A and B are shown apart, each in its own frame.
Chain A
Amino acid sequence: MAEVMLRLHIESKVFHTAQGELPVLGNIEFTLGVREIVALVGPSGCGKTTLLRIVGGLDTDFHGTINWDGTRVPRIGTVFQEPRLLPWRTVRQNLLLAQPTANHELAEELLRSLDLALFRDAFPRTLSLGMARRVAIARAFAIQPELLLLDEPFVSLDTTTAARSRDLLLNTWRERPTAVLLITHDCTEAMSLADRIIVLSDRPAHIVEEVVVPHVLRTVVP
Chain B
Amino acid sequence: MLLLVWQIAATVAHSRFLPTVTSVLAAMVQQTMSGALPWNLAITLGRVAVAFALSMIAGCALGIAMGRSRQLDLWLDNIVTVLLNLPALVLIVLFYVWFGLNETAAIAAVALNKLPNTAVTMREGTRSLDPALKEMARSFRMSRWRTLRHVIVPQLTPYAFAAARSGLALIWKIVLVVELLGRSNGVGFQIQIYFQLFDVTMILAYTLAFILVAQTIEWVALQPLENWATRWQR
Inter-chain contact A88/B142, CB cutoff 8 Å: no
A86 at the interface (CB under 8 A from B): yes
A186 at the interface (CB under 8 A from B): no
Contacts of B233 in A (CB 8 A): 87, 125
Q: Which of A82, A88, A98 contacts B140 (CB 8 A)?
A: A98
Inter-chain contact A78/B140, CB cutoff 8 Å: yes
B residues 216-233 touching A (CB-CB < 8 Å): 231-233
Stretch at the interface among B29-37, B50-58, B146-154: B146-154
| Contact indicator per residue, chain B 112-153, by CB within 8 Å of chain A (1) or not (0) | 000000000000000000001101101111100010001100
Q: Which residue of A lies closest to B138 (CB)?
A: A58
CB distance from A155 to the nearest CB of B (A): 16
Inter-chain contact B232/A143, CB cutoff 8 Å: no
A154 at the interface (CB under 8 A from B): no
Q: Which A residues have a C-beta under 8 Å from some C-beta of B?
A: 56-58, 76-78, 80, 82, 84, 86-89, 97-98, 100, 123-125, 139, 143
Inter-chain contact B133/A125, CB cutoff 8 Å: no
Dominant SS among interface residues on chain A = loop
Q: Which of B136, B231, B232 contacts A84 (CB 8 A)?
A: B136
Inter-chain contact B142/A76, CB cutoff 8 Å: no
Q: Which of A87, A98, A100, A139 contacts B232 (CB 8 A)?
A: A87
* 27 residue pairs from A and B, CB less than 8 Å apart: A57-B139, A58-B135, A58-B138, A58-B139, A76-B139, A77-B140, A78-B136, A78-B139, A78-B140, A80-B132, A82-B132, A84-B132, A84-B136, A86-B133, A86-B150, A86-B154, A87-B232, A87-B233, A88-B154, A88-B232, A97-B146, A97-B150, A98-B142, A100-B141, A125-B233, A139-B140, A143-B140
Contacts of A84 in B (CB 8 A): 132-133, 135-136
Q: Which residue of B lies closest to A139 (CB)?
A: B140
Inter-chain contact B136/A89, CB cutoff 8 Å: no
Contacts of B139 in A (CB 8 A): 56-58, 76, 78
Add 16 more A-B contacts to A58-B139, A80-B136, A89-B150 (CB < 8 A).
A76-B139, A77-B140, A78-B136, A80-B132, A80-B135, A84-B135, A86-B150, A88-B154, A89-B232, A97-B142, A97-B146, A97-B150, A123-B232, A124-B232, A125-B232, A139-B140
**Alpha-carbon distance A98/B233, docked complex (angstroms):** 21
Q: Which residue of B lies closest to A76 (CB)?
A: B139
Interface-centre pick from A76, A82, A98, A139 (highest chain B CB count, 10 A):
A98
CB distance from B195 to the nearest CB of A (A): 48
Contacts of B231 in A (CB 8 A): 123
Q: Which residue of A lies closest to B132 (CB)?
A: A84
Contacts of B151 in A (CB 8 A): 86
| Contact indicator per residue, chain B 207-222, by CB within 8 Å of chain A (1) or not (0) | 0000000000000000
Contacts of A80 in B (CB 8 A): 132, 135-136
**Alpha-carbon distance A185/B232, docked complex (angstroms):** 34
Contacts of A77 in B (CB 8 A): 140
CB distance from B203 to the nearest CB of A (A): 45
Interface-centre pick from A57, A78, A88, A123 (highest chain B CB count, 10 A):
A88
